[in-house]
Each structure stands twice: as C-alpha cells, then as structure tokens.
C-alpha cells in the first residue's frame, strides 16, 4: 500500500494541519501552522444559488480555498459553498461521510499522508483527463503524490511545499563572514557539517536550531525506510542519529521546541538559554523577548530553522524587527512537507463542475499568479508561474530570489523514497534518538527497541542481515 508521508518524526500534530498560504499579515499562514484557527463546519460560504447545475460544495481544511471560491464565483458565476473543518476531525469526517456514499460534498481536500486512505476507499474520482496537463505543468512530486498506487491521477494541489534552511543573515555575516545562500548551504550539506557548524555557533553564543527536531526533515536519507520488505537504517540515518544526540548533549540548541512561545520568540531576537526540562508550553512570548532584550550571560539567539516553504512564512510573520534579516538555503537533502490536494467525490452528482473548479484552482496560470501575490509568499504549484517570478526579490528574505530557489530545490525531491511506513517508522526512530539523548538507553539498546517496535506494528517487515544491530 502506497502512502505519502510528510517527513516528520516528532510533534506529529504539526503535520495534521493543512498546507500553507494566507495573508502576509497573518502570523499563522494558512492551516499548516497549528496556531491557525478554522471555522466550524458550515460556517463558511453560503447556500445562495444552491441548486444550479454548476454549483458545488467543498469540504476543506485550508481557509485559503474560501478566497479561491470567491474568485471563481466572480469570474464564472458558479457558486462554491466552502465548509472549513477543524484538522483533528477532518479525516474521520471524510471516512464516515463518504463511507456512506454521500453526495452532499462535491470536492474535498486531503494532505499527502491522508490521500492513500481516501484513494483505497474509493472516495476520489478519476482525474485522468487532466493527467497530461498536471504531469507537464505542475511540480513533479505533487503529481506523484496525487496518483494512486496504480498511477491513476486522483488529486491535484494548487501549491508546492519544498523545504529549506531558513537562517539569520546578520549572524551568518558575523560568524562565517558571508550570508550568501550557496556558502551557508555548505554548512548544512551533511550531518558532519551541521555538527561542526553548531560547535562554531556555540562558540559565538548562538544556537544552531531551536531544538534537535529540526533534523527530522533530513531523515529521508539516500534509501527509502522500507526496501524489499526490510527496514533500512543506513549510514546516513546513523549519522542523523548521532548528530541529533550530539546537538542535544552539547547544548548546541536553544531547547525552544517547535510551536512553543520560545520558538516563536526566537525569530524576533535573543531569548534566555533554556534547558530541555523547562516547561516551554507555559511560557509567554512577550516576557521571553523582554528578557532576551535585557541581555546577560544566559542569552542565546537561534541561527536557523529547517521547514517547508510554509515555515518561511511563519518565520517572516514572527520576525518583528528581524523581518528582512533572513535568507534561505538548501540542506542535507531535498524534502517537502504538507500541501492541500483537491479531489472530486466519486459519489458527486456534479463531477464535471467539481473538476472545472479544481482546474481553475490548479491549472489556471492567472489563478496561480493571483494566489502567489494574494498569499504574499505561498509557493504555487505552477512551474511556469514560478519561473515567471524567478527574478522577484523578496524583501522579507534579504531581497533573495526565493521563488527561483524553491523552483530549483524541488528538483532534488525524490518521491520514490517515500513509503507507506514512513510516519510510524520515523516516530519510532525519533523516540530511539530521544532515549539516547536523555541518557535513558545506549544507542545499541535504543536501535534494538526501534526494530522491535516497528515489527510489532508491521509483522510483514524484517531486519536485514547487515543492520547495525539485531533485535
């Protein structure tokens, strides 16, 4: 069974949220950010014009699509009733509703990790009529993510979510003598380089990341997690393991866990150096910023963040006085995270109208250009539009040509490395790393437990003879 992981180990609630976007003034762009709110079902859209042949109902996680629906109605006269669901309830709602072959929804969305279950259940209609356009005009990995295990196109995204390292320009100049993205990328090109970079930053009083969870985005390695029925822990993954432990035990990170108040505060400037035992979830962002600005011996600044492109919008919108003082560069490997894919309900009585709306959102160049501008930073899925904006100098990122960067970065995403086991395996691997970081287990014992945990969940998998340890 083919599944589509978003390459996340810890904090899995982050990936349960829909993909990015939103206005440039919103500190939580789109619904990729767990801080964003969503409407109660039925609170979005209206039933005006209901009953017309081309009117449809859309169920979504992403409030972005309210704006798409408004534009679509203005241009076509066709009404789209948008119902925005809370992310925690969305998949269950879809499975229950469409499991009963409901015709009440015409278009619904899915994140990459949800799509395989929707496809297998038979909920997503065949969109093969659009196959050639999607394959040639949109970003390659999103085409693969929208196909079922037989290669039939069933979902299309209006955005792409390639990853990057987001770093402080001023700290880069101070510590490394340059803030050029190509030069800074060298400091994140391997796990050994990351460890050396972290050590250098620590010597200057800075932290390389908020916490070691940033490394999880680079866990794809050069091999899939499962190959020929065997669990693959190669040298790249062992290097990732060792790097995470090293950063933790040497206090090379700020222990500002993602989505916590210290993490957001770190984007705006100095903050107190924390310990992993601190309750970061009860802390106040403003108080932390005030303490950081006061200075002292126990102060640090976070140098970088590793996130998909929607994460760059989060950094931008929480940077405050640091806005414009960030750049983006590549890291150990290409990756992606999240994305909002639209699919037609197999049981809809308005399939043609539903497909037309999806075409408008995903394959219309004017729509893509409009959304690129309206979202103030979302990375659209349309390659031609991204290329047309490749000279755009982003003031939030040191006037860097961010669209050109992301367009090139997407070329390094190898979707063949994604397997249906990824989420669970990476969670187990992350738990193994955490146990060693905290001194609870040796590396050997942690790896043995990792294999045992995975095989208990997936009895069909085995451990290769050349594995680093045997369970």
Q: How does pLDDT run across 213-266, given as a tens digit for each residue?
A: 999 999 887 899 999 999 999 999 999 999 999 999 999 999 999 999 999 999
Q: Which of 296, 314, 329 is the last residue of a domain?
A: 329
Nearest CA among 55, 133, 301 for reference residue 201: 301
Instruction: For residue 361, give the CATH number of its domain.
Output: 3.40.190.10
Identify the DSSP state of 408. Answer: H
Task: Establish if 211 belongs to a structural domain.
Answer: yes
The dihedrals phi and psi of 165, each to the nearest 5 degrees, come to -100, 125
Residue 423: the pLDDT is: 86
Q: Within a domain: residue 71?
A: yes
What does 175-221 look like in DSSP terms, one character per residue?
Answer: HHS---HHHHHHTTSSHHHHHHHHHHHHHTT-BSSSSGGGGGGGTT-
Query: What mean pLDDT is reported for the chain?
Result: 88
The arithmetic mean of pLDDT across residues 372-377, rounded, is 91
pLDDT in tens, 274-327: 999 999 999 999 999 999 999 888 999 999 999 999 999 999 999 999 999 999
Q: Within a domain: residue 87?
A: yes
Answer yes or no: do 55 and 100 share one domain.
yes
The total of structural domains in the chain comes to: 2
Domain finish residue from 358, 373, 389 = 389
Say yes or no: 199 and 222 in one domain: yes
3-state secondary structure of 108: strand
One domain, residues 200 and 276: yes
pTM, rounded to two decimals: 0.85
Euclidean distance between CA atoms 156 and 124, whole angstroms: 11
pLDDT over 70 at 370, yes or no: yes
Asked whether residue 194 is domain-assigned, the answer is: yes
Q: ∠178-311-110 over CA atoms, to 5°?
A: 150
Q: Are residues 168 and 279 in the same domain?
A: yes
Selected residue with higher pLDDT from 414 and 354: 354
If asked whether residues 251 and 355 sit together in one domain, one would say no
In a domain, 296, yes or no: yes
Task: Assess if residue 404 is contained within a domain.
Answer: no
| Pairing relationship of beta strands 56-60 and 80-84 according to DSSP bridges | parallel
Is the domain of 239 the same as that of 302? Answer: yes
The boundaries of the domain holding residue 72 are: 12-161+336-389
Choice between 113 and 192, residue whose per-residue pLDDT is larger: 192
- Indicate whether 239 and 115 sit together in one domain: no
Tell me what pLDDT residue 222 has.
83
pLDDT for the residue 87? 81
Tell whether 297 and 370 lie within a shared domain. no
Mean local confidence (pLDDT), 158-184: 97
Mark whether 385 and 304 lie in a shared domain: no
* Residue at 294 is within a domain: yes
Residues linked to residue 138 through DSSP beta bridges, in sequence order: 382
Assess whether 232 and 94 both reside in one domain.
no
Tokens 């940077």 locate to 319
Does the residue 5 lie in any domain? no
Tokens of 164: 């990057």
Q: What is the DSSP letter of 129?
A: G
| Average pLDDT, integer, range 419-437 | 93
| Same structural domain, 24 and 103 | yes
Q: Are residues 227 and 348 in the same domain?
A: no
């Amino acid at each position: 069974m083919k599944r589509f992981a978003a390459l996340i180990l810890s904090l899995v609630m982050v990936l349960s949220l829909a993909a990015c976007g939103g206005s440039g003034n919103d500190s939580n762009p789109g619904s990729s950010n767990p801080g964003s709110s969503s409407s109660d079902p039925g609170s979005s859209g209206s039933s005006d014009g209901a009953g017309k042949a081309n009117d449809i109902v859309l169920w979504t996680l992403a409030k972005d699509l309210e704006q798409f629906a408004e534009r679509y109605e203005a241009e076509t006269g066709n009404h789209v009733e948008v119902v925005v669901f809370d992310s925690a309830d969305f998949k269950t709602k879809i499975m229950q509703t469409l499991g009963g072959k409901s015709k009440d929804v015409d278009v619904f969305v899915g994140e990459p990790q949800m799509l395989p279950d929707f496809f297998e259940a038979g909920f997503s209609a065949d969109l093969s009529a659009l196959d050639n356009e999607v394959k040639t005009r949109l970003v390659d990995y999103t085409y693969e993510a929208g196909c079922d295990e037989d290669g039939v196109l069933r979902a299309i995204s209006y955005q792409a979510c390639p990853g990057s390292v987001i770093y402080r320009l001023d700290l880069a100049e101070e510590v490394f003598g340059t803030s050029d993205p190509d030069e800074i990328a060298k400091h994140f090109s391997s796990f050994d380089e990351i460890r050396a970079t972290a050590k250098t930053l620590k010597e200057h009083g800075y932290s390389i990341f908020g916490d070691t969870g940033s490394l999880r985005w680079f866990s794809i390695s050069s091999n899939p997690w499962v190959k020929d029925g065997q669990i693959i822990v190669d040298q790249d993954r062992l290097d990732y393991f060792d790097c995470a432990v090293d950063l933790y035990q040497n206090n090379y990170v700020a222990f500002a866990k993602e989505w916590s108040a210290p993490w957001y505060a770190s984007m705006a400037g100095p903050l107190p150096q924390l310990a992993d035992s601190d309750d970061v979830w009860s802390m106040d962002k403003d108080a932390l910023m005030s303490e950081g600005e006061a200075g002292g011996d126990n102060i640090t600044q976070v140098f970088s963040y590793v996130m998909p492109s929607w994460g760059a919008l989060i950094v931008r919108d929480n940077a405050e006085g640091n806005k414009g003082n960030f750049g983006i560069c590549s890291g150990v490997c290409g990756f992606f995270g999240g994305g909002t894919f639209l699919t037609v309900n197999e049981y809809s009585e308005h399939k043609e109208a539903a497909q037309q709306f999806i075409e408008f959102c995903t394959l219309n160049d004017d729509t893509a250009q409009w959304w690129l501008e309206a979202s103030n930073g979302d990375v659209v899925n349309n390659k031609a539009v991204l290329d047309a904006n490749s000279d755009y100098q982003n003031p939030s990122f040191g006037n860097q040509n961010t669209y050109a960067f992301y367009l090139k970065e997407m070329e390094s995403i190898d979707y063949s490395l994604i397997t249906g086991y990824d989420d669970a395996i990476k969670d187990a691997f992350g738990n193994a790393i955490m146990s060693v970081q905290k001194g609870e287990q040796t590396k050997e014992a942690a790896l043995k437990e990792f294999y045992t945990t995975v095989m208990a969940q997936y009895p069909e998998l085995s451990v290769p003879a050349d594995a680093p340890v045997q369970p």
